[in-house]
Amino acid sequence: MKKWLVMWFWWTAAMAVGWAATAASIHFLPDLNTMLGLALVGTIQWLPVRKHVQGSGLWVLVTYVAGYVGSLVGLLFLQLLGLPSGAEMGYGTHAILWGVDGAVIGLAQAYLFKPVPSNRFAWIPVTAVGYAAAALLRMFVGAWTGIAVMDWRSALGFGAAVGLISGAGLIWILMQGKPRGIGLSTRL
């Protein structure tokens, strides 16, 4: 049990540091895109889960691509619902956007677990809830403290919240999952 708690701690720390570093780098290098930050987050995420996922290159690439696709799908979903996107987004809209993004990231990452746990697709709602809850928390804290959404402190809290929630789900999936089927055999 201790190894799982240690992994949960490192997963949460990795998420917090990854998102804070992304926000800080965007602050200092404004031309840096948030999507590039997903490569940083994916790289840091890989560290605590590397024994449970396929090669690092796949994890980083999948996180980057899924984050980008998830953002586009989230914006399209908001459009289909007739909800505003951009600066005029409310709390619920913000949570929906990040929840959809988290679900797409979770779907893509679920294919990389090894050995393949039978409950790996539980990772989809886990990441969706993690990202949506973190987005709401970031909005509430930002309104309360006046800290901007893209400030490194806000991103640190966002990453920590995603990490705490998704890390608990990750540990549950890895502890409960029994190998089933054939996983990806690609190693980078």
Q: Does some domain include residue 143?
A: yes
Q: What is the pLDDT of residues 112-164, one digit of tens each?
A: 988 888 899 999 999 999 999 999 998 888 888 888 877 888 899 999 999 99
Q: Does some domain include residue 112?
A: yes
Model pTM? 0.86
Determine the Cα–Cα distance for residues 116 and 139; give it in Å rounded to an integer. Answer: 36
> What does the pLDDT read at residue 180?
47
Q: What is the pLDDT of residues 57-70, one digit of tens each?
A: 799 899 989 988 99
Q: Does some domain include residue 39?
A: yes
Q: Does some domain include residue 168?
A: yes
Total domains in the chain come to 1
The confidence band for 87, taking pLDDT boundaries of 50, 70 and 90, is low
Q: Does some domain include residue 188?
A: no
Q: What is the pLDDT of residues 10-58, one digit of tens each?
A: 999 999 998 898 888 877 776 666 667 777 888 888 888 888 887 767 9
Task: Tell me which residue range forms the domain holding 109.
Answer: 2-176
State the distance between the two ends of the chain, measured CA to CA, in whole angstroms: 30
Q: Does some domain include residue 111?
A: yes
> What does the pLDDT read at residue 32?
66
Q: Does some domain include residue 65?
A: yes
Q: According to DSSP H, which parts of 29-151 are helical? A: 34-49, 56-81, 91-110, 123-145
> Is pLDDT of 184 > 50?
no
Q: Does some domain include residue 187?
A: no
> Is pLDDT of 185 > 50?
no
Determine the Cα–Cα distance for residues 89 and 92; give it in Å rounded to an integer. Answer: 8
Which stretch, 47-51, 81-85, 156-160, 177-181, has highest mean pLDDT?
156-160
Task: Read off the tokens for 165.
Answer: 């929630």
